[in-house]
Amino acid sequence: MIKPHGAESLLPLYVADEAERKALAISAENLPSIIVSSAAAANAVMLGGGYFTPLTGYMNLADSLSVAEKLYTTDGLFWPVPVLNLVKDAANVKAGSQIALRDPNVKGNPVLAVMDVENIETASAEQIDTMIQQIFGTMDGDHPGVAAFKAQGNTLLSGPIKVLNFSYFETDFPDTFRTAVQIREEIANLGWNKAVAFQTRNPMHRAHEELCRMAMEDLGADGCLVHMLLGKLKPGDIPADVRDAAIRKMVEVYFPPNSMLVTGYGFDMLYAGPREAVLHAVFRQNCGCTHLIVGRDHAGVGDYYGAFDAQTIFDDKVPEGALEIEIYNADHTAYSKKLNKVIMMRDAPDHDKEDFVLLSGTKVREMLGKGIAPPPEFSRPEVAQILMDYYQSTQS
């Protein structure tokens, strides 16, 4: 199986030994504590699950700026996005101390992790702007990722952490949430040597389904990891439980057994386009996948990124050998009326726009909200029914 990024084996920061974890949880109740941001909590979950191997905790200011500007930490580790614990007020925190990190997303704010605070640093407005511009490619406050980043504060708490639980992800999504450790085990148990990863924050329509099928066939892959984001999204995005049901139904009906592994990970969407695509590649390598599908407007939002910027960054900014995982570049896929199947549009130079079944997301949402199923060329009827039920429930 492919090696993890920057290490011989995964380095999950979750305290797996039950006795040690319980003892740490008890002692954590007597530590100074802070309620972290949702983004910092998601970073803790990813660190806990081994997704962010080989990191041992939150980055300091020097590493954060180096990663933002150069895609490398100061000690030479390739990494695409700073992993931060930004706070507004650190008056009760002292460098060299141990603190409890409390979960903002769970009632009662239980302790999520224990942190050894190595540094407390204040980033200047210019340094914050540098990070935002490099990560998101824009300073526009209407960009959901930029807005979330700015809202966290400008004080960085850095140092190693020990993770006590996986926030709400394990309890809310017990059949779907998996750590990188668990995914590696499942891939090994399935006997897959070559696995392709498909990232999604949306339900999968026919085009997505066929894209997974095309990638597996083109690469000779043993299977596909459908890996959905389970964390915070922007308003209007479909909730994770609805997506999960729709995707599982599609896999159950339209794919052979043991060819698809449907899982999810606990992270908040950054909407950082190209940079987030590279982060997706890093932690899919940590999951044991040999390939990642990168499609049109991967991890994008609005018109902030070019349609294929998330592909070209791997050629323009990711140095040779920085990652072992390989990228499967996908074009926009759509149903061809001429060929009666879903194809990549780049493979049909003889087609006009009218030769494809093309529906905007807005149009699809309008149809579903009215109880009208999109055409079967666009969405499987079983998937459309789940989505119609959801949209109509939001209007009642």
Burial track 196-210 (b if 16+ CB lie within 10 A, e otherwise): bbbbbbebbbbbbbb
Look at residue 358 in the predicted model and tell me its pLDDT: 83
Answer yes or no: are the C-beta atoms of 279 and 55 closer than 8 Å.
no
pLDDT for 396: 62
Residues 276 and 355 in one domain: yes
Predicted local confidence at residue 233, as pLDDT: 82
> Do 225 and 309 share a structural domain?
yes
Q: Is 201 labeled as catalytic in the residue annotation?
A: yes
Same structural domain, 163 and 180:
no
CB 5 within 8 A of CB 179: no
Catalytic residue, candidates 109, 154, 193, 202: 202
- 191 and 100 in a common domain: no
Assess whether 143 and 182 both reside in one domain. Answer: no
Q: Is residue 5 part of a domain?
A: no
Q: Which domain holds residue 357?
A: 176-265+271-395
Q: Is 9 part of any domain?
A: no
Among 135, 167, 199, the domain boundary falls at 167
Instruction: Choose the final residue of a domain: 134, 167, 200.
Output: 167
Catalytic annotation present for 296 = no
pLDDT tens digit at each of 396 positions of the chain: 899 999 999 999 999 999 999 999 999 999 999 999 999 999 999 999 999 999 999 999 999 999 999 999 999 999 999 999 999 999 889 999 999 999 999 999 999 999 999 999 999 999 999 999 999 999 999 999 999 999 999 999 999 999 999 999 999 999 999 999 999 999 999 999 999 999 998 889 898 999 999 999 999 999 999 999 999 888 878 889 999 999 999 999 999 999 999 999 999 999 999 999 999 999 999 999 999 999 989 999 999 999 999 999 999 999 999 999 999 999 888 899 999 999 998 999 999 989 998 876 678 888 888 899 999 988 999 999 999 999 988 876
Q: How many domains does the chain have?
A: 2
Question: Which of 21, 119, 193, 201 is an active site residue?
Answer: 201
What is the pLDDT, as a whole number, of residue 170?
95
